[in-house]
Amino acid sequence: MPFCFAIGKECRISPLSVLAKEHRKALLYGPVENPHAWLGLKPAGGGNLAFSALLPGATQVELVDASMDPPASQLVAKQGDEGFFECIVKGERVFRYRLRVVWAEGETEEFSDPYAFGPTLTEEDLEPFNRGEDPLAYRKLGGQPRVMGAIPGFAFSVWAPGAKGVSLLGDFNGWNASRHRMRRIGRTGVWEIFVPGVASGMQYKFRVFANGSFQDKADPFASFCEGPPGNASITYDPGGRDWQDSSWMESRRQLQPATSAFSVYEAHLGSWRNKPDGSPLSYLELIEELPGYLKEMGFSHVEFLPLAEHPLGASWGYQVTGYFAPTSRFGEPRDFMALVDALHAEGIGVIMDWVPAHFPRDDFALSRFDGTPTYEYADPRLGEHQDWDTLVFDYARPEVRSFLMSSAVAWLDRYHVDGLRVDAVASMLYLDYSREEGEWLPNRHGGRENLEAISLLQRTNEEVHRLHPGTVMIAEESTAFPKVTGKVSEGGLGFDFKWNMGWMHDTLEFFGAAPSARSGMAEKLTFACNYQYSEQYVHAFSHDEVVHGKAPMIYKMGAGEGDVSVHAAYLRALYAYMWAWPGKKTLFMGSEFGQTTEWNFEFPLDWELLRHADHAGLSRLVKELNGLYRDHSFLPAGDSAPEKFRWFECGERAPAVFSFFRFGDIPQDTLLATCNFSGERIEKHRLGVPFSGSWRVVLHTQDEDFGGGLKSIPASASSENAPLEQWKDSLVLDLPAASAIFLMPVAE
């Protein structure tokens, strides 16, 4: 006769059924909204407690009073063959208990009952999320390590407002959907359960019941994900890293991005460099090579193509399924933290591409998450991105706004990332983006602007800057939308920088023409001055420009069938022009040494090219340009100051010769850049200068050290009292073909 520990008397196991038939059916097959009301130990009235459990595969269950010393136990009656165990216990006090279970395989396991715990989230906790105003929602939703009543485990929660029921399944329950039915939290649309004993590193999914069917879904808030084909979420505690970058983080708070050196190396981690077996370097292996390389090359930042989890490598990371999880292709989240820490140790900032404009249709991810359009717009005229056959986020839905805003903040918060480059902003801003007449819906004012997307971008930028001062938000935006980098308080979007796509297209069109044709194309370079200071710009030659038949940078130079040395000479001149031009810089990996094949995400860069003088010289030039830009602070400080820039000539006096000045606050902080983009040498070319005396040559792209044809270059040039245009003095220089020369005045 078992001992009834609730009241200290002997008692028999009750043969009475605790659960109603309809409750049993719901618990077995779903859906059910509040399983906690039926399972676990509950007052039953009449001085009794009722206990019930659903444990498919169990042959025997004991109820263990964990509050007694020593613990006492009571057998629980098995009810049928479906896994139900039930009993009535004498007593009115609900006590702390554990379950001792013998499984069909013979294994005995003792654990705390998930249905003995109250909810880990309340409606009050979720109010900001439901209002669309929670930038820290990632700390609440998803799989969170928790300690409840001194018992460790994971709390799982998921937003599925249209679901009829949600079950948690994973390694810890044999992927049995009836073991852990989740409860709905009021009217929040969130479902929750705490599972004691779950450790970090266990796979799981949510089974979402809707409309008489179900779909197994990955956790939208997961911090770690399995790759394809399984695509499960993985329990993970992303905290606990002993960060070593406190001085970096503190100095970042004081950073003024607009006036600081900002030279970015854009990289795709999977194809930067491979191991001997052909596989890409892991996060930890990259620590040994990437930070040192970037420091040597003088870049201030690295920008990673999206590292959020994505199932299709061919999307380069731009079709995201795990908005809070670094891709497991290269290691665990803590390994990514270590890489960021190592980059900071070498003085390299970290920017990551972030993709809030669209998401893929994969069944396991966000698409129709609760059986209905949940994260996406319901109307395909709003909710389908035609260019990529993906889905558009419903920016009007408050919980979607919290989800996206929280994703942005999580990368900066958890992983110490220093900024985000926001992909495809133009497609977010306009309802008719890439759509024909009749394929889009106007906004409430009859216009084409997506007002909800605009307000989301504004709020996200505000929250990022509030929570993480000194971080940067960069917009990939290709239209004339006003005030992308304007203050939100003044009607702007609040970005720090905008990619200057117009400058990039015009510049590449100029250099793509034959050198003999460039004399009539001056407006391709000069037009940028009409809008140069309307925004805070980054000038980028990105991954998009070296794929899909566009040719690598070195073969965009319009040099016809000339050998690689001719192409390299024009590319050196282009890079010098870019670095001297006002605005921040971004260059895609491989372009710094003249990769000769288009980028292919499946293959590493051709580092063997650095054995050749043209490519090694180009690399040294980029390093030198970064050093000049970094060491002469007046250059980045004047990137957005129109009074600090002045054209001198734009191809009027000599074909395809362009010259301009960059000014600081003192005469010695003056840079004269003169560029001969023609195919002909121009001798004794006269340039007006604002200061008399000696001007030293600080860079010459035809220097032999950079792969050029000049074994020696003049160290300086002296001005003459020969007025030219607005200047009283002038210099005379020889300008080799395909060259750029930088000069600065020598202090008297």
pLDDT digits (tens, 9 = 90+) for 565-578: 999 999 999 999 99
Q: Quick one: pLDDT at residue 8?
A: 37
- Are residues 401 and 304 part of one domain? yes
Whether the predicted pLDDT of 651 surpasses 90: no
- DSSP element (H, E) containing 413: helix 398-415
Q: Catalytic site residue 683?
A: no
Whether the predicted pLDDT of 324 surpasses 50: yes
Whether the predicted pLDDT of 6 surpasses 60: no
| Residue in 156, 55, 72 with CA at minimum distance from that of residue 109 | 55
Mean pLDDT over 221-235 rounds to 97
Domain annotation covers residue 600: no
Q: Are strands 203-210 and 165-170 parallel, antiparallel or unpaired?
A: antiparallel
pLDDT digits (tens, 9 = 90+) for 725-748: 889 999 999 999 999 999 999 987
- DSSP element (H, E) containing 730: strand 729-735
Query: Choosing from 309, 353, 399, 423, which is the catalytic residue?
Result: 423
- Are residues 130 and 97 part of one domain? no
Q: Quick one: pLDDT at residue 747?
A: 82
Q: Catalytic site residue 476?
A: yes
- Are residues 449 and 311 part of one domain? yes
Q: Quick one: pLDDT at residue 45?
A: 83
Domain annotation covers residue 356: yes
Domain annotation covers residue 295: yes
pLDDT digits (tens, 9 = 90+) for 595-613: 999 999 999 999 999 999 9
- Are residues 140 and 107 part of one domain? no
| Mean per-residue pLDDT of the chain | 94
Q: Quick one: pLDDT at residue 13?
A: 42
* Cα–Cα distance measured from residue 578 to residue 540, given in angstroms and rounded to the nearest whole number: 9
* Cα–Cα distance measured from residue 471 to residue 640, given in angstroms and rounded to the nearest whole number: 18
Query: Choosing from 476, 535, 614, 639, which is the catalytic residue?
Result: 476
Q: Which residues pair with 393 in a beta bridge?
A: 376
Q: What is the pTM of this model?
A: 0.95
Using a 10 angstrom Cβ sphere, with 0-12 exposed, 13-18 middle and 19 or more buried, the burial of residue 256 is exposed
Domain annotation covers residue 718: yes
Domain boundary among 499, 514, 549: 499
Total domains in the chain come to 4
- Are residues 453 and 351 part of one domain? yes
Q: Quick one: pLDDT at residue 17?
A: 66
- Are residues 166 and 107 part of one domain? no
Q: How much of the chain exceeds pLDDT 90, in percent? A: 89
Radius of gyration, CA atoms only, the chain: 32
- Are residues 145 and 106 part of one domain? no
| Cβ partners under 8 Å of residue 425, min gap 6 | 357, 457, 475, 476, 477, 484
Domain annotation covers residue 541: no
- Are residues 140 and 109 part of one domain? no
Domain annotation covers residue 319: yes
Assigned token pair, 58: 């169990």
pLDDT band at 215 (very low <50, low <70, confident <90, very high): very high
- Are residues 188 and 105 part of one domain? no
Domain annotation covers residue 667: yes
* Cα–Cα distance measured from residue 651 to residue 675, given in angstroms and rounded to the nearest whole number: 10
pLDDT digits (tens, 9 = 90+) for 133-153: 999 999 999 999 999 999 999
For residue 92, the domain's CATH number is 2.60.40.10
Domain annotation covers residue 22: yes
Whether the Cβ atoms of residue 304 and residue 341 lie closer than 8 Å to each other: no
- Are residues 168 and 129 part of one domain? yes
For residue 690, the domain's CATH number is 2.60.40.1180
For residue 289, the domain's CATH number is 3.20.20.80
Q: Quick one: pLDDT at residue 400?
A: 98
Domain that holds residue 340: 246-254+262-499
3-state secondary structure 210-264: ECCEEEEECCCCCCCECCCCCCCEECCCCCCCCCCCHHHHHHHHCCCHHHCCCEE
- Are residues 418 and 362 part of one domain? yes
Whether the predicted pLDDT of 16 surpasses 80: no
pLDDT band at 70 (very low <50, low <70, confident <90, very high): confident
Mean pLDDT over 158-182 rounds to 96
pLDDT digits (tens, 9 = 90+) for 261-280: 999 999 999 999 999 999 99
pLDDT band at 10 (very low <50, low <70, confident <90, very high): very low
Mean pLDDT over 473-494 rounds to 96
Whether the predicted pLDDT of 531 surpasses 70: yes
Helix axes 246-253, 333-345, angle to 10 degrees: 70
Q: Quick one: pLDDT at residue 725?
A: 87
CA distances from 736 to 504, 508, 559, 654, 732 (A): 25, 21, 16, 13, 13
Whether the Cβ atoms of residue 557 and residue 570 lie closer than 8 Å to each other: yes
- The residue ranking higher by pLDDT, 11 or 632, is 632
* Cα–Cα distance measured from residue 35 to residue 185, given in angstroms and rounded to the nearest whole number: 12
pLDDT digits (tens, 9 = 90+) for 372-395: 999 999 999 998 988 899 999 999
pLDDT band at 3 (very low <50, low <70, confident <90, very high): very low
pLDDT band at 560 (very low <50, low <70, confident <90, very high): confident
Q: How much of the chain exceeds pLDDT 70, in percent? A: 98
- Are residues 422 and 371 part of one domain? yes
